[in-house]
Amino acid sequence: MLNNLIIFVLSAFVGTEILTKVPQTLHTPLMSGANAISGITIVGALVATGMTVDPWSQWIGFLALVVATINVVGGFLVTDRMLEMFGEDNAENEAPADADAPQRTNGAPA
Amino acid sequence: MKTAIIDLTYLLSAVLFIFGLKRTQSPKTARTGNVLASLGMLVAVVATLFLKSILSWPMIIAGVVIGGGIGVMLARTVEMTAMPELVAVFNGFGGLASALVSGTELSQHIAGTATSTFGLITSVTIALSILIGTVTFSGSIVANGKLSGWITGNPISFPGLRVLTVALLVTAAGAIGVMISVSGTFPTLSATMIQAASVLGGTALLLGILLVLPIGGADMPVVVSLLNSYSGLAAATTGFVISNTALIVSGTLVGAAGMILTVIMCDAMNRSLANVMLGGFGGGGDDGPSADLDIPEGKTVNETSPDDTAILSSYADKVIIVPGYGLAVAQAQHEVREMADQLEAQGVEVKYAIHPVAGRMPGHMNVLLAEANVSYEKLYELEDINSEFKTADLAIVIGANDVVNPSAREDEGSPIYGMPILNVDEAESVVVIKRSLSPGYSGVPNNLFYGDNTKMLFSDAKEAVASITESIKKMVEA
């Protein structure tokens, strides 16, 4: 118990230290990514579903497993989808089509 | 030996989580960071499956397939504008999973199949995990409802709400007390334990609902951040229950992340967390179509048109776009990007000023603009851009109100005094695209609208921006 408490306190410091430096631009992916990480409960759900013998525990564990998996799989995927949009390639393509070029006729001639 | 290997693997996945989160500090490394974190999760899952003696594989496979399928579907189909709703649901699922895992720990002890001994600490941690996990679950569902509109975004309150909330808190405390008191003789008094745990679960379910209902829709960024923090804490307390280091470390990291975002959001509104949570704030000033165009006495409004705005912006050297909540609601991010493209093609320098509470969740506006292919390098945070308004020829405010209200800076009597705002009024001219003169979420009238250098463009954000873009195109072609 004491060890667990020590781990808890130290993790809180590590988390605060790392995460205060995350820029505002990435706050949404940070939240969804962190959310996926909180799905680590899946480990407990796996043990509860897979190792128990009484049906009650097994079914509660099964439900926990389903929701935890949604959280983990969905969370990481959606974070990746967002971060893909922030990617470097994207930024390069996006480099304003030469800001000095005086004109860019869009589409068909007038 | 096996236990040692499992523990070391969990340590490895915790390290991967920390490295993954650390890489979120820059947009360049964030994506690989997310891959590292998911790798950490995979390591933890695989180690659990192969190193523990799993008995019922079919159930495990079924659970992972069902959950994974739903997760993939949700993640693939969600619109970027609906991200807050989805994150709220995921938070809720995380909380529910944690509460359920603690529930299985309890039911194993009741069935006599548990391997660990049951003591006072087990009782306390199980109770806390059920409480936090369930509150996270029901609170997140209500938050989802408010964000996606199946529950009204206005604060919901009824006589006795506070009393009921306090009564529920007392009941929850009582149930935890009972669970602690029977923990010594457990599992002999298992009926009492089951009853107390069920009462606690039910009470927590109601508490989560009542805690979020009175909070207004525009405060949901705070609520979602806070629930994110809770989902982490729920995982951490579950880690205490099953004595699992991986859960404690990762749960705590997530708890810290959510808490930091909560504080940032509250600071950006200059309100305390307690003030947000007590609810009842706002809801009156929603910029709906039932616009009020009454101009207060002694004030004048300069109205403008999309064509004039097009001329004004094309001849500017520097334009700062200030997108707000209204832009997110109108989903006008693609139109805004097109307008910016047109301006940049004319040699105009375009920057975006993003207030921390601009979107519907922390950083949401940045995601929406990234979706519309706006480079993150053009998105500026409040403290980085505020000095630049002085040198800007034009600031275009789209669907933002309170975050550009000069009263926050000047009027000490104002309810929003002290809130950090974007100083758009310092730009040479300001165009505000808005449907009416109605006050923002805070209900405080905005003097910016009556400023000498302000022009109002009364319109829907999406339509207005699209017509400005059209006008610029015509000017170029002419």
CATH for B416: 3.40.50.1220
Residue B426: the pLDDT is 92
Instruction: Supply the pLDDT for residue B188.
Output: 67
**Tokens 């720990």, residue located:** B105
Query: Which are the contacts of B335, defined by CB distance < 8 A and separation ≥ 6?
Result: B462, B465, B466, B469
Least confident piece of the model among A30-39, A78-87, B102-111, B128-137: B102-111
Give the closest residue to A72 by CA, choosing from B90, B77, B277: B90
pLDDT digits (tens, 9 = 90+) for B221-261: 889 999 999 999 999 999 999 888 889 999 999 999 999 99
Predicted local confidence at residue A108, as pLDDT: 39
In sequence order, which residues have a C-beta less than 8 Å from that of residue B81 and are 6 or more positions away?
Answer: B328, B331, B360, B368
Share of chain B above pLDDT 70, in %: 95
Query: Is the domain of B261 the same as that of B340?
Result: no
Calpha distance A26→B339 (Å, rounded): 24
B452 is catalytic: no
The whole domain housing B383 covers 306-477
Number of domains present in the structure of chain B: 2
Contact by Cβ (8 Å): B131, B200: yes
When pLDDT is averaged across residues B98-110 and rounded to a whole number, the result is: 89
Does residue B47 lie within any of the structural domains? no
Choose the closest CB to A61 out of B68, B104, B370: B104
Residue indicated by tokens 């229950």: B241
Mean pLDDT of the residues in chain B: 88
- At B41 the pLDDT is 95
Look at residues B411, B394, B395 and name the one whose alpha carbon lies nearest to residue B446. B411
- Residues of chain B positioned with their CB less than 8 A from the CB of A56: 107, 110-111
CB contact under 8 A, A28 and B94: no
- Residue of A43, A57, A86 for testing the chain B interface, max B β-carbons within 10 Å: A43
pLDDT tier, B187 (very low <50, low <70, confident <90, very high otherwise)? low
Residue B318 has pLDDT above 80, yes or no: yes
pLDDT tier at B154 (50, 70, 90 boundaries)?
confident
**Residue B204 predicted with pLDDT over 60:** yes
Closest CA to B172 of B132, B218, B229: B132
Residue B291 above 70 pLDDT?
Answer: no
pLDDT of residue A79: 95
Would residue B61 count as lying in a domain? no
Percent pLDDT > 90 in chain B is 54
Q: Is residue B428 part of a domain?
A: yes
CB pairs under 8 A between A and B: 403
Closest CA to B229 of B139, B105, B363: B139
User: Quick check: is B394 in a domain?
Assistant: yes
Of B291 and B228, which is predicted with more confidence?
Answer: B228
For position B92, what pLDDT does the model report? 95
Question: What is the pLDDT at residue B217?
Answer: 76
- Among B52, B64, B366, beta carbon nearest to A69: B64
Does pTM surpass 0.90? no
Q: Which of B219, B286, B402, B425 is catalytic?
A: B402
Nearest chain A Cα to B477, which residue?
Answer: A110
> Quick one: B273 and B317 in the same domain?
no
Q: Which residues of B334-351 are buried (b: 16+ CB within 10 A; e: fewer)?
A: bbbbbbbbbbbbbbbbbb
B33–A74 C-beta distance less than 8 A = no
Of A4, A24, A72, the CB nearest to B381: A24
Domain boundary among B278, B296, B314: B278
Q: Residue B181: which of B171, B172, B193 has the closest Cα?
A: B193
Confirm if B403 and B385 have CB atoms less than 8 A apart: no
B35 assigned to some structural domain: no
> pLDDT band for position B418 (50/70/90)?
confident
Strand B394-398 versus strand B429-434 pairing type: parallel
